[in-house]
Structure 1
Amino acid sequence: MINFRYHVVSLAAVFLALAIGLVVGTAAANGPLTENLNEQVNTLTDDKQQLRDDLEQSRAELKKNADFATEVAPMLLAGKLANKNVLLVKLDGSDSGDVNTATDGVATMLGTAGSKVVGTVTIKEKFTTPANSAMLLDLAESSAPPSVSGALPNQANGVDTSAALLAAVLFGKSGTPQVEGTRTVLSSYESSGFVGLDGDFKTPAEAVIIVAGAPASGKDAKDRNAAVLTLATRFDLATRVVVAGLSANGLVAAVIGDATVNKSISTVDNAVTAYGQVAAVMALTERLAGKNGHYGSGDGANSLLPKTASVTNGS
């Protein structure tokens, strides 16, 4: 007769067999599994080191390219913009640090070309915010000198009206006097938080380089990006314009994509680099000679660099 003790012994034997099976199975599989894991770890380590080496090599090549562009800049630019008064405009945004760096580089190249930077205007994000259009209209109306107010566009677009006012006081042909009331206009926009100013602005500029970063983002991005293009277009009506972008996106793409302004505004899509900064100044030389083009390595670029051009005083 099978008793309770028999059942206990049987169950114990079953669990013992399972335990032995698990131990034996784990021991048998442990070797190949461990080897496979070790191989994967070693492969990942090698890949990481390769990526690190590739990154260092890319950084070294970029530095060599920058050094090369800096060294050849005097040969390409010297005297090309002698006695030319140029304004720098930079667009404030999420990548303002890179825009500032690019602007400083362009300013250095302008100096190499012999031009004088009359000042730098920073267009704050507040300027392109749709909700501030009425405020911009009021500011333009209240600060515009009598000699300019009658020529401002009569419409409800605050960005366009204010851009037209700024263009009227900032730009002029070589030898023309500064518009009376220029400092009042600039100070009004600065104190209201729409622009930042750096320079004396005592002389009208004959041309402008606009340094632009990434396109605006967020719920009002479409309107803000359109406002930036409006600003560039209004400046284009008053002077010679080059847009120097950090990439082929944003304002560069907007200009190239506009069938009208892409024939008069030149663009450079790699102004974050030294050779892009050289290209921006070469493009401005070309614009002052009556030509335009789109340069860099992004979509819509005609070539990496413009052909060299000479500009005579008074062009």
Structure 2
Amino acid sequence: MISFRTHVVTLVAVFLALAVGVVLGGGPLSEIGRGDDDTAALEAEVSQVRAEADFAERFASDVSSTLLDGRLDGRDVALVTLPGAETSVVDGLADQVSEAGGNVTVTQALGTSLVSTAEKSLVDTLGSQLMAQLPDGAVTEGASTYQRAGELLGLTLATTGEDAEDVPARTESVTEGLRGANLVEDVEPPSRRAPLVLVVLGDEVTGDGADALLSGLLTGLAEQSRGLVVAARTSDGEDQVARLREADQLGSATSVDGVESPAGQVAAVVALARAYDTQGGAFGAAGADGTVPLG
């Protein structure tokens, strides 16, 4: 995997090249007949840019080791991805979980049918059937269609306990039902259920009731886990993540936007470690509670 430091150093190199290009193309060199004073000024500007690049490289190394080292302390994490989630982002987050000392038990992709408002009848009918096969209290009584679906999925991946737990036999039928209806993709099932869940959003859910659909899935998953973090691209203040945050529709889930960047991925994993004991909050590039939960 490409490390956080490598990502940042690459970005710094690009910015350095751009900065030098601006200095050369738009600065004194663009003028004919420049003198020694102009050359000295140019060299000073280039030196300053190089110093800033060196600082950024050292900062990336320090931040990565300080913020991530041992944060997850051997804890298990289930990764859940929605349709449209970028592979590079998912891989980057998995890499940061490993750097923080965590273990990814499964990377479960959700099917397009589960997040399609046109398939609500299917999700509702199947949810009722699967719920009837479980002991009373396994799923919240009276839960909405999508909260129930989120809780059923959570039963197969997560636990509210302090430590990972073996997957009970009674959830196998739930897993088979969800896969049989193409609501989740067929992946190697986890051998144990994780206390922490990291959900990576992709394309916005659209259609009538789309926000309620996504909110239900996320709050249902959070209900069945000890801690859950929702990872999203940088919010523009008007997108689906912004609306769910504003309407307080994420329940106990913690949200982090900006995860297309290495810095956002680190923030998401720090938030994941925090979610083990403290739930909720909005962090990241447009987070109301700050860029990263350091407290």
Note whether the superposition's TM-score is higher than 0.5: yes
- Whichever residue aligns with residue 228 of structure 1, its letter is L
For the Cα contact (< 8 Å) 1:78–1:113, is it kept in 2? yes
| 1:80 and 2:71 are equivalent in the alignment | yes
| 1:57 and 2:43 are equivalent in the alignment | no
Q: Which residue of 2 is the match for residue 233 of structure 1?
A: 219
Q: Which residue of 1 is the match for residue 201 of structure 2?
A: 212
Highest CA radius of gyration, 1 or 2?
A: 1
Aligned-partner Cα distance in 2 for 1:55–1:191: 52
Aligned-partner Cα distance in 2 for 1:137–1:81: 36
Q: Which residue of 1 is the match for residue 275 of structure 2?
A: 287
- Whichever residue aligns with residue 266 of structure 1, its letter is T
**SS of residue in 2 equivalent to 1:215:** coil
Per-residue Cα deviation, 1:3-29 (whole angstroms, up to 9, x for no partner) = xxxxxxxxxxxxxxxxxxxxxxxxxxx
| Structure 2 gap ranges (5+) | 1-13, 22-48
Aligned-partner Cα distance in 2 for 1:70–1:123: 34
Q: Which residue of 1 is the match for residue 105 of structure 2?
A: 118
Q: CA deviation at 1:178?
A: 1.9
Change (3 A) 1:180 1:307: same
For the Cα contact (< 8 Å) 1:77–1:112, is it kept in 2? yes
Q: CA deviation at 1:277?
A: 0.5
TM-score, normalised to structure 2, is 0.71
For the Cα contact (< 8 Å) 1:213–1:247, is it kept in 2? no
Identity %: 24
**SS of residue in 1 equivalent to 2:292:** coil
For the Cα contact (< 8 Å) 2:146–2:213, is it kept in 1? yes
Q: How many residues are aligned here?
A: 245
Aligned-partner Cα distance in 2 for 1:67–1:193: 46
Q: Which residue of 2 is the match for residue 224 of structure 1?
A: 210
For the Cα contact (< 8 Å) 1:152–1:164, is it kept in 2? yes
- Whichever residue aligns with residue 207 of structure 1, its letter is L
- Whichever residue aligns with residue 64 of structure 2, its letter is A
For the Cα contact (< 8 Å) 2:165–2:194, is it kept in 1? no
- Whichever residue aligns with residue 177 of structure 1, its letter is D
Q: Which residue of 1 is the match for residue 158 of structure 2?
A: 171
Change (3 A) 1:259 1:223: closer
- Whichever residue aligns with residue 267 of structure 1, its letter is S
> More deviation in 247-256 or 198-207?
247-256
Q: CA deviation at 1:138?
A: 2.9
Aligned match of 1:276 in 264, 269, 272?
264
Q: Which residue of 1 is the match for residue 39 of structure 2?
A: none
Q: Which residue of 2 is the match for residue 128 of structure 1?
A: 115
Change (3 A) 1:201 1:149: farther
| 1:106 and 2:73 are equivalent in the alignment | no
For the Cα contact (< 8 Å) 1:266–1:292, is it kept in 2? yes
TM-score, normalised to structure 1, is 0.67
Aligned match of 1:243 in 230, 237, 247?
230
Q: CA deviation at 1:107?
A: 0.6
For the Cα contact (< 8 Å) 1:86–1:116, is it kept in 2? yes
Output the aligned Cα RMSD: 3.2
For the Cα contact (< 8 Å) 1:70–1:274, is it kept in 2? no
**SS of residue in 2 equivalent to 1:181:** helix
Per-residue Cα deviation, 1:219-245 (whole angstroms, up to 9, x for no partner) = x1x422321111111122222111110
Q: Which residue of 2 is the match for residue 89 of structure 1?
A: 80
For the Cα contact (< 8 Å) 2:256–2:267, is it kept in 1? yes
Q: Which residue of 2 is the match for residue 191 of structure 1?
A: 180
Aligned-partner Cα distance in 1 for 2:82–2:65: 27
Change (3 A) 1:274 1:233: same
Q: CA deviation at 1:150?
A: 5.4
Change (3 A) 1:109 1:133: same
Per-residue Cα deviation, 1:14-66 (whole angstroms, up to 9, x for no partner) = xxxxxxxxxxxxxxxxxxxxxxxxxxxxxxxxxxxxxxx989638x99x9979
Aligned-partner Cα distance in 2 for 1:257–1:226: 13
Aligned-partner Cα distance in 2 for 1:135–1:302: 38
Aligned-partner Cα distance in 1 for 2:247–2:172: 33
Per-residue Cα deviation, 1:230-262 (whole angstroms, up to 9, x for no partner) = 111112222211111012154532342133646
**SS of residue in 1 equivalent to 2:266:** helix
Runs of 4+ in 1 over 6 A off after TM superposition: 53-56, 63-67
